[in-house]
Amino acid sequence: MVLSLGLILTCPSRSRCNRATLRAYRAAPPICLNSEWRIRGGRGGGKIELDHSSGPGMSDVGADAKEQANRLCEAKGWSLGALLGKGGSAAVFEVTTEAGDTALKVFFPRFIEGREGAITRKRLEIVKDRLIGHACPTLVRIHAIDEFEGAPFMVMEHVAGSMLTDVLRLVPAPAVEGIVRQIAEAAKYLEDLGLTHRDIKSDNIMVDATLTKATLVDVGVARIIDDPVGSGTDDDGKLPFVATARYSSPEYMFRLAPPGPELWRALNFYQLGGLIHDLLCGEPLFEEVVRQAASNRYLIAYAVATDIPHVKPRNGVPDYLVNLAQRCLQKDLAPRLASVSWEDFFGRDRQRENEALLGIRGDRISSSGVRTLDVAELGRSIENSIDNRLMAKGLSCRHSTTVIHHTRVDIRIRWTPPKLPPDVEIEVLIDLSEIDGQLRITASSQLRPLSAKSFEAPVVAIASDAADLELSATNQVYDLFLEASAKLIGGSDAKNGGAAN
């Protein structure tokens, strides 16, 4: 997790390369990526980790952690369960303690021995002092921090679900805004406690089975904001880089600003921008660069300094998030801080505010003040979501949305499930229409080239004033899409009256 940075690389003039960053980049002291540490190109994405080529392999380190967890659980009378995840410094296991189902974090040997061990312990002291019993619902709860056989360990809430990185392409568009808000709440909560997380990224976010509830985990490198050099926590004032390279703002990675409230808030905003990027683009920040960095480890630092990530709009996700991500991912700290505020993450839509200020017509507002249903927008979001879900399973489809009227859209999806010959397609037509404030969904399907087999799905009607309308509609339509497709491949209902020509 620690990198002493001071890269000298020639940086060709590029218009996208910010000048101040470029200057600092050129003026940085000679490289001191010391031989023990290097940027790894794996999924950790530029996490600064041990160079295992000169030490024990990752699996050995993991095995040590498991043995340690085993001995600890035996001594305490706890029951050790499955491995929940592994990061650059630790492994996390499911453990049943007196308190019930929890998560146990045990550190790899490198992080509990010698000088590194002392730093780990000091960081954990901060967490122990300030975060045990905290009240933030979107930040992992910490139950206990202690030592066993001279090694520190942490007992936490077991956050059920998946690591966000693993399900980025499955998150439905309507859930994106809520996930960003929840993680921003956790970051702001830490700031209000005088702490900063420093490592907000998709690997450190868990999402529940509905892909809507998010929790920020891994408070392992949290730091006190007002500590000028992070004595003990930042390697005794030598200010090595502590975070994940691909999600680090340039001023943080290249030490262009002194530690303090501005630096940490600007890093929070940058990393939240990275989160929006990941949710909109369906992959972690600088993914391609990290892949290439397997053969040239400096590429990540170069990208942090020079590459302005492209944040793609996503159907069904409010546009303001794209713009917010772009403001967050600005290379320079000053304009970033000047153009982003915490409220921006809590549903503040500057685009709409500005439109209203300028008298530009916004969405239709019903007399009750509730925004009326935009069926066309919903249709496109659902179309996109089904495509994403299939893509995540390695399948592709052809799809389109036709707006028949502002209250009615048809979504057409053509695809070939693995069970069908490649020249045969299923065409599913989903019709969404708003009738008296209710959303009505129907589906029909047929095999192509045209066969006698076709299927009419039942009508599914859902209320339009439900808070989670888009999400529940998306889930229902996906179910209906699968059902309508399955019926054509020998589903019994298709033969027994469910089918109609």
Ligand X SMILES: Nc1ncnc2c1ncn2[C@@H]1O[C@H](COP(=O)(O)OP(=O)(O)OP(=O)(O)O)[C@@H](O)[C@H]1O
| Residue 197 binds which entry of Mg ion, ligand X, none, CB below 5-8 Å type-dependent | none
Number of residues that bind ligand X (CB under 6 A): 26
Token pair for 171: 């998150």
Buried b (16+ CB within 10 A) or exposed e, 132-145: eebebebbbbbeeb
In the bound complex, what is the minimum distance in angstroms from residue 218's beta carbon to Mg ion?
4
Distance, C-alpha 448 to centroid of its chain: 38
Question: Which residue bears the tokens 């050099």?
Answer: 229
Residues in CB range of 64: below 8 A, 6 or more apart: 108, 109
Binding window for ligand X (CB under 6 A); candidates: 24-32, 217-225, 361-369, 409-417: 217-225
Beta bridge partners of 409: 403, 432
89 binds ligand X (CB under 6 A): yes
Handedness of CA 261, 263, 266, 271 (dihedral sign): negative
Identify which of residues 242 and 281 has a Cβ nearer to ligand X in the complex: 242
In the bound complex, what is the minimum distance in angstroms from residue 157's beta carbon to ligand X?
6
220 binds ligand X (CB under 6 A): yes
Q: Are 416 and 425 in contact (CB under 8 A)?
A: yes
| Residue 89 binds which entry of ligand X, Mg ion, none, CB below 5-8 Å type-dependent | ligand X
Binding window for ligand X (CB under 6 A); candidates: 181-189, 197-205, 353-361, 482-490: 197-205
Q: Which amino acid is at 289?
A: V
Contact residue for ligand X among 218, 234, 332, 387 (CB under 6 A): 218
Alpha-carbon distance of 301 to 460, in angstroms, equals 51
88 binds ligand X (CB under 6 A): yes
Contact residue for ligand X among 45, 85, 174, 230 (CB under 6 A): 85
Token pair for 263: 């630096």
Question: What single string gives the DSSP state of each residue in 346-373?
Answer: TT--HHHHHHHHTT---S-B-TTSPBPP
Q: Are 499 and 454 in contact (CB under 8 A)?
A: yes
Q: Are 282 and 169 in contact (CB under 8 A)?
A: yes
Binding window for ligand X (CB under 6 A); candidates: 155-163, 417-425, 427-435, 457-465: 155-163
Binding window for ligand X (CB under 6 A); candidates: 118-126, 153-161, 386-394, 403-411: 153-161
1 binds ligand X (CB under 6 A): yes
Residue nearest to ligand X (CB): 87
44 binds ligand X (CB under 6 A): yes
Residue ranges in contact with Mg ion by CB under 5 A: 87, 204, 218
Q: Kindly list the residues in this chain that would bind ligand X in the complex (CB under 6 A).
A: 1, 44, 47, 84-90, 92, 103, 105, 140, 156-159, 163, 199, 203-204, 206, 217-218, 220
